[in-house]
Amino acid sequence: MPDASAFRAGFVAVIGRPNVGKSTLVNALVGHKISIVTPKPQTTRHRILGIHTSADTQIIFVDTPGLHRNAGKAMNRMMNRAAINALQDADLILFMCEAGRWISDDQNAFDRATGASAPVMALLNKIDKVHPKEELLHAIAAMSARFDFVEVIPVSARQHDNLDRLMAAIPKYLPESAPLFPEEMFTDRSESFRVAELVREQLTLNLRQEIPYGLTVQIEQFDKQDEGVDVRAVIWVERDSQKGIVVGKGGSILKKVGRAVRLELKRQLGRPVHIELWVKVKENWADNEEQLQRLGYDPG
């Protein structure tokens, strides 16, 4: 374990609207896939810690659900609470938006981030998509004028552009502290949680736009042995009409999802994987806080 006498450790909340690149950023900074990533908004539903430990610093990134205004269902309200609570516990806030783009959900997240007590650093993401490059200077100037940010850093989470600069800038805003987690730990989430998220990631990638928001995944069995891993997962949907869509014609969707998850787990764990997927109906689960907590959602 590193010497605690000159050590800094603290929580860094990553805040922004849905689909702005928060999970891609945290995965890149931690060096492990701790959060699933899809092109669809609201993929992240849970507060997830990504832990990066170096010789003199432990940075605990808090990947949060995207803050959004239209929180009609209980699940959406819980997601908003998870993001807002992360702000209250943070030593530093990374407010993330797209370089050169600003919409109402950005303003909502900005208001939350800048209303907290912790220092706020602005990240302008997706700079690889800004053309001509002179426009980036205008975006940096416009962001700097919005608030007294401690720093404004342009990045591309996907391309890993400027992430070294970001990592070098963070430690001075963290308190002197002994490490808060073991050195080898890179997330607070269990392997079974990460398996459930991998299944949900593949379902989100393979289903029509509206269906993924009406499903969740629960691991009933996760048996990890030297000779292999056995997984049994239940995919909960809200209506009978969704069940057939998730299964697919002749089981095609489930087979495709199961194969992708099996290959990814085999790559991660270095051993054979057997996975069984089942689809069941639990009406209105996404608008029932008691059901959500049973399914592993943090009440916030």
Residue 300 pLDDT greater than 70, yes or no: no
In CATH, what class is 4-173? alpha beta
* DSSP codes joined into one string, the chain: ---GGG-EEEEEEEEESTTSSHHHHHHHHHTS--S---SSTT---S-EEEEEE-SSEEEEEEE-PPP-S---SHHHHHHHHHHHHHHHH-SEEEEEEETT---HHHHHHHHHHHTSSS-EEEEEE-GGG-SSTHHHHHHHHHHHHHS--SEEEE-BTTTTBTHHHHHHHSGGGSPB---SS-TT--BSS-HHHHHHHHHHHHHHHHS-TTGGGGEEEEEEEEEEETTEEEEEEEEEESSHHHHHHHH-GGGHHHHHHHHHHHHHHHHHHSS-EEEEEEEEE-TTGGG-HHHHHHTT----
Same fold across 4-173 and 191-294: no
Residue spans of the domains in the chain: they are 4-173, 191-294
In this prediction the pTM is: 0.89
Q: Per residue in 109-143, pLDDT tens?
A: 999 999 999 999 999 999 999 988 889 999 999 99
Residue 71 pLDDT greater than 70, yes or no: no
Percentage of the chain modeled with pLDDT above 70: 96
User: Which CATH homologous superfamily contains domain 191-294?
Assistant: K homology (KH) domain (3.30.300.20)
